[in-house]
Structure 1
């Protein structure tokens, strides 16, 4: 195989030398580990469903993994200006999809979150998250560039619209994730701590209202505070499954993952802990921490306020989602159905995370041979 040279002027060679390769290496390792863990979790999950094969979930994950990898590569070729345009289009398209979900989709476990297209289901809110980060970062950057432009007010309005649609589904977990990311972007954009504190107080008020007016949210919070309740069955099984793995894992010997609902999706971290032990569980946590930290460090060196805000927000999106998923599995957070990026089974989540990472690479790679400044620093 011919080695890539810096003298090679092919598109792939230019991409290789301009992309942040440490981030790419960490991401590749997460994807490989995710598929290995899903191979272990898939058969027990498939056994609960009649008429499907033992490797139903790993095979379907591969079907979505191929376009996800293509999406990451294709988006990496974009200039920051093109990435910004795409992100805004995706955001408003996903908001329209969320509206369609509220109007026409049926309820699943008391929530409306999915659009059903033939044999596939799509969760528009997953794609709205990276789109929101891009759109909000653009407005915050425009406000910083021109104090007369109400960029901050527009960005707050976009957040309010997105948050309202999430709460109407209702999806308090995704709302909390978006709110945390929004607070990080506020900080990077240089807004005062007073605004961040106001956002925190408003969020606590919304959570309190959710506890009072939503039986589902109240049950999750009460179950977190009182382990052993009926509502915490999945979380209790997840903790037991992780503990059963010990230091180096048990494999299929005395496995408890068969009793764990959603072992292939929301609680796949528990399967990783049981099958491969405490060592792999810690390694997965470190990989997400290093990936998020690396991307944020690269963002800090960017000259564009838009790129700084957007890349930091996109990295926080992946990092916070991993924290929430792992925290629920360890009973450190109230139960919330949220996937572990690139590891949990799920087509919408996989494609949306691929969109997130592709936008990160597009905004962080070095751009040589581009002579129009606006293409590099919108």
Structure 2
């Protein structure tokens, strides 16, 4: 293909040669499965709530198309562009999350969504990638200039997010943001004693949430004591995996989508297990694993603190979200309403995950093709410059 030859020095040619094609292909596979599973799971859910049979399908086609475009566009950003996006995105997401406490939609006792004409937006979804990039810049700037209060500013930002998410309440999102923040601090060189102290605070916070928030208490109790409370959704999901077996019952032959209210969202992995079987489920796990492991392996060649810290935060949030969804569906952890990236229904989720992947690709593509021996050579035209 002539436009993509090594002599092509256009912006698209430089991007195509530097971007991680394997991760990009994996994202395409996940989006493809998102379409397939939405065709399988959403019509029954839509009919059950009295909506048009194809309502969720049409919306998800739009959401995933936008998500794919976001992934490509964001992966083309320069480092300065990512820093600006981190600052602006974090500020907007914090303001919008605060707005949910006043004008947000209340669903099941929580205010997490803002109603828009065509969709409901969960602003806290966008806090994960934007705050991770912002934190990475603050910590990297602190390494370059010890007098710069990067750690203090990052801590203040995290404290504001903590108070907002606790007030909604959204303990699951708060847990993800906290784990991402702690992972970045650990990679930044936080003393192991302090790391142990942070994990102690996390455990104490989890115990506090168990006693302070009724929905957290209920989910933990149902997980620890099978005879307590309503286990309809998780029991139905587990039966779906059993019915699917190794190869599945076949496309459209599943029954779990007719029984679960969130079969197209939180429990879409159960639909995949029933209709396509264990092998397809393992394939999906493998795709998520490839994205996470490949991204981490690419960091072994990096010595730029900003790239290492930013990518660590982004890949931690992405991998943790996928793990929580699949593990809660399999009853390995207490149930948590968290979507499966690119596969579950949801506009906010699809776009925030696309933002995360786009940022990861942008960060890891910077030094593709440049060895440690060539980093001291002059930068060719179009190469990103170091942020001051």
TM-score by length of 2: 0.92
* 8 Å Cα contact 1:311/1:363 also seen in 2: yes
**Residues 125-183 of structure 1 deviation map (CA, whole Å, 9 limit, x = unaligned):** 00111111011111111222222222222212211111211111101111111111122
Question: What SS does the corresponding residue of 1:6 show, helix, strand or coil?
Answer: coil
**Residues 19-76 of structure 1 deviation map (CA, whole Å, 9 limit, x = unaligned):** 01111122211211222122111122222121312x3212111111222222111112
Please list every run of at least 4 consecutive aligned residues from structure 1 whose deviation after the TM superposition is greater than 4 angstroms: 370-373
* Pair 237,364 (structure 1): closer, same or farther in 2 beyond 3 Å: same
Shift of 1:16: 0.7
Tell me the distance in 2 between the aligned counterparts of 1:69 and 1:94: 21
* 8 Å Cα contact 2:341/2:353 also seen in 1: yes
Say which is worse superposed, 247-256 or 86-95, in terms of deviation: 247-256
Shift of 1:200: 1.0
Is 1:369–2:380 an aligned residue pair? yes
Shift of 1:358: 1.1
* 8 Å Cα contact 1:227/1:236 also seen in 2: no
* 8 Å Cα contact 1:232/1:335 also seen in 2: no
Is 1:71–2:70 an aligned residue pair? yes
Question: What SS does the corresponding residue of 1:114 show, helix, strand or coil?
Answer: strand
Shift of 1:232: 3.0
2:298 alignment partner in structure 1:
298
Tell me the distance in 2 between the aligned counterparts of 1:150 and 1:117: 38
1:232 alignment partner in structure 2:
231
2:163 alignment partner in structure 1:
164
1:342 alignment partner in structure 2:
342
**Residues 188-231 of structure 1 deviation map (CA, whole Å, 9 limit, x = unaligned):** 11111122212111111111111111111110110111225444
CA RMSD, Structure 1 to Structure 2 (Å): 1.8
1:134 alignment partner in structure 2:
133
2:372 alignment partner in structure 1:
none
TM-score by length of 1: 0.95
Tell me the distance in 2 between the aligned counterparts of 1:70 and 1:241: 34
2:49 alignment partner in structure 1:
49
Shift of 1:376: 3.9
Tell me the distance in 2 between the aligned counterparts of 1:67 and 1:376: 30
* Pair 2,232 (structure 1): closer, same or farther in 2 beyond 3 Å: farther
Is 1:148–2:147 an aligned residue pair? yes
Tell me the distance in 2 between the aligned counterparts of 1:257 and 1:62: 19
> Within 5 Å, which residues of 2 pair with 1:1-378?
4-53=4-53, 55-251=54-250, 252-253=252-253, 255-366=255-366, 369-370=380-381, 375-376=385-386
Shift of 1:360: 1.1
* 8 Å Cα contact 2:26/2:287 also seen in 1: yes
Tell me the distance in 2 between the aligned counterparts of 1:22 and 1:254: 32
* Pair 231,370 (structure 1): closer, same or farther in 2 beyond 3 Å: farther
Structure 1 unmatched ranges of 5 or more? none
Tell me the distance in 1 between the aligned counterparts of 2:231 and 2:255: 20
